[in-house]
Amino acid sequence: MATSVQPAPSPVPASPHLLDNPAWASLTGPHAAFAERLGRAARYPADVAAFTALADPEDPAAWADLARLVGPGTVALVNGAPAAPEDWEVLEHGLGVQLVATALRSEPAPEAVRLGPEDTAEILDLVARTKPGPFKEHTVTLGTYLGIREEGRLVALAGERLHPPGWTEISAVCTDAGFRGRGLATRLVRAVAHGIRARGETPFLHAAASNTNAIRLYESLGFTLRRHTTFLLVRAPAAG
């Protein structure tokens, strides 16, 4: 009896990794309480974080939802999108890297203090001087933020920002110029990572692709490059 040979089944495409679209994974997951959402688009409140998110950055329907969510002429920061639809004005196109903790030693920092909303003025002052990236009035509510003070003055900072399920982003890593070279940022990164791992999660972070000094530091601490990323600063279409 002849036997028929069945064709091999087509491979099932792998599901996108949560870290391929971390803002969306955060806003539809652990940070859902912060989310302002319309269909396939979401964003953080403007005073919490600058990020908007699309379920699929290449889906025109998601961009249409985002336009309705943010409103005509509004400037938005979109991560992971290779390009914007023609009716959106691209103000800035940036390149970054995403790194994941693979060999990072995490440990508490006894000298670190937990920062909260009452410390916002000090945090914003340090961020304005060191420019680690976007930081808003209520960003500190996204997760644990730790700082180091010298003679009562906040001189170093690191904390948690995006929070896809099972992952937490370390962000706002900065040190006052007069206190660099003492390993303060390293101690804070390890301390924030210690708290993340205590929850059974994995730390990751982002850096501008041009910030080679920071990337070298993170790699020396035990972070590994996972992927290159893009971000777009865009203006939504004007009202038709």
Query: In this structure, how many other beta carbons lie within 10 angstroms of the beta carbon of residue 116?
Result: 12
- Provide the mean pLDDT of the chain: 93
Which runs of consecutive H residues, i.e. helices, occur in 131-240?
A: 184-198, 212-221
Please tell me the pTM assigned to this model: 0.91
Q: What is the pLDDT of residues 174-208, one digit of tens each?
A: 999 999 999 999 999 999 999 999 999 999 999 99
Q: What is the pLDDT of residues 107-155, one digit of tens each?
A: 999 999 999 999 999 999 999 999 998 999 999 999 999 999 999 999 9
Query: Across residues 71-86, what is the average pLDDT?
Result: 94
Tell me which residue has tokens 């210690």.
194
Q: What is the pLDDT of residue 98?
A: 97
Question: What phi and psi, each to the nearest 5 degrees, are found at residue 101?
Answer: -70, 115
Q: What is the pLDDT of residue 15?
A: 60
Q: What is the pLDDT of residues 94-104, one digit of tens each?
A: 999 999 999 99
- Cβ 133 vs Cβ 48: under 8 Å: no
Percent of the chain with pLDDT over 90: 90
Select from 118, 21, 123 the least CA-distant residue to 62. 21
Non-local (6+) Cβ contacts of 238 within 8 A are 72, 73
Q: What is the pLDDT of residues 213-235, one digit of tens each?
A: 999 999 999 999 999 999 999 99
Percent of the chain with pLDDT over 70: 93
Strands 75-79 and 167-175: unpaired
Read off the pLDDT band of 55 (50, 70, 90): very high
Read off the pLDDT band of 240 (50, 70, 90): low
